[in-house]
């Protein structure tokens, strides 16, 4: 599963639609980004990975200079189309978030990593590399907002399916119907590694199913990764409305700062 992220976000695999399901929350999330990162008008903002550009284009529409980074060319194309449709300009760069050497050091006032886009890699050191890559391109005192699912909330709300085998972890299976197509979902959580493997398989469809496999974090684990990447955590939140973090918060958002020069 080491390279699932290299192909899972192609346009023929359905994840473009999944990103758009969250579109209604964009305005509240962007307001949170501006507030928590202290963005003045015209701030230089990095969105990595940017997905379909929901946050990046909205930030550009609010007067910020935004650079979008993603490994998926399909997502970058979707971001460019969104920007054109809203009459704003963004810079789109194809890159692995572990290696941002295509961007100058210290060139951003702020960065965002939204919608559970952290912890993709099998090795913990690669997730640290992602944090370090972002830290390098932030100016001294620049801030990062990371948004992931709260592992502590997740384990309290994960109820295995009685009919699903659990030999390789705790399993939940369900389905949804989208545009007349039935899609089967399977989530397998391994408490030994804190990884969640999510499989999405359209019934009777010719296209391949989607597999997403990522590391989930408790608060102390996320803080440790950010510190190992050279960032100083400042505060944590439990939701897009800015509520304080607690063990029962579905989301875990952390604001971290690049060290002063």
Domain limits, the chain: 4-150+217-257, 153-213
**CB-based contact 261:140 (threshold 8 Å):** yes
Q: What angle do CA 202, 9, 256 make, to 5 degrees?
A: 130
83-91, Cβ contacts within 8 angstroms, sequence gap of 24 or more: 83/53, 83/56, 83/57, 86/57, 86/60, 86/61, 88/57, 88/60, 88/61, 89/60, 90/53, 90/56, 90/57, 90/60, 90/66, 91/66, 91/67
Whole-model pTM?
0.89
Map tokens 């789109």 to a residue: 92
Question: What residues are paired with 175 via a beta bridge?
Answer: 184
- Tell me the percentage of the chain whose pLDDT exceeds 90: 61
pLDDT tens-place string over residues 24-82: 688 889 999 999 999 999 999 999 999 899 999 999 999 999 999 999 898 999 999 99
Domain 4-150+217-257 has CATH 3.40.50.150: yes
User: In this model, does residue 205 exceed pLDDT 80?
Assistant: no
Read off the tokens for 108.
Answer: 């951003």
Tens digits of per-residue pLDDT, 229-246? 999 999 999 999 999 999
Per-residue pLDDT tens over the stretch 135-148: 999 999 999 999 99
Task: Label residue 107 by pLDDT band (50, 70, 90).
Answer: very high
pLDDT in tens, 8-17: 666 555 555 5
130: helix, coil or strand? Answer: helix
Q: How confident is the model at residue 2 (pLDDT cuts 50, 70, 90)?
A: very low
Instruction: Tell me if 46 sits within 8 A of 64, measured CB to CB.
Output: no
């Amino acid at each position: 599963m080491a390279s699932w992220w290299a192909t899972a976000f192609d346009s023929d695999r359905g994840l473009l639609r999944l990103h758009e399901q969250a579109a209604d929350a964009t305005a509240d999330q962007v307001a949170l980004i501006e507030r928590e990162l202290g963005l003045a008008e015209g701030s230089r903002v990095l969105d990595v990975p940017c997905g379909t550009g929901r946050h990046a284009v909205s930030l550009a529409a609010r007067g910020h200079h935004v650079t979008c980074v993603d490994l998926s060319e399909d997502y970058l194309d979707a971001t460019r189309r969104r920007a054109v449709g809203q009459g704003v300009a963004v810079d789109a760069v194809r890159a692995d978030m572990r290696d941002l050497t295509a961007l100058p050091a210290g060139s951003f006032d702020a960065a965002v990593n939204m919608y559970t886009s952290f912890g993709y890699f099998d090795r913990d050191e690669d997730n640290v590399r992602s944090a370090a890559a972002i830290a390098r391109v932030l100016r001294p005192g620049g801030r990062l907002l990371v948004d992931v699912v709260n592992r502590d909330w997740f384990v309290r709300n994960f109820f295995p399916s009685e009919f699903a085998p659990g030999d390789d972890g705790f399993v939940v299976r369900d389905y949804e119907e989208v545009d007349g197509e039935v899609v089967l979902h399977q989530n397998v959580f391994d408490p030994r590694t804190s990884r969640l493997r999510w499989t999405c398989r359209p019934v009777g469809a010719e296209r391949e199913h989607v597999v997403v496999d990522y590391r989930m974090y408790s608060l102390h684990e996320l803080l440790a990764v950010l510190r190992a990447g050279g960032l100083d955590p400042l505060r944590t939140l439990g939701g897009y409305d800015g509520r304080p973090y607690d063990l029962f918060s579905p989301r875990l958002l952390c604001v971290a700062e690049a060290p002063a020069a």
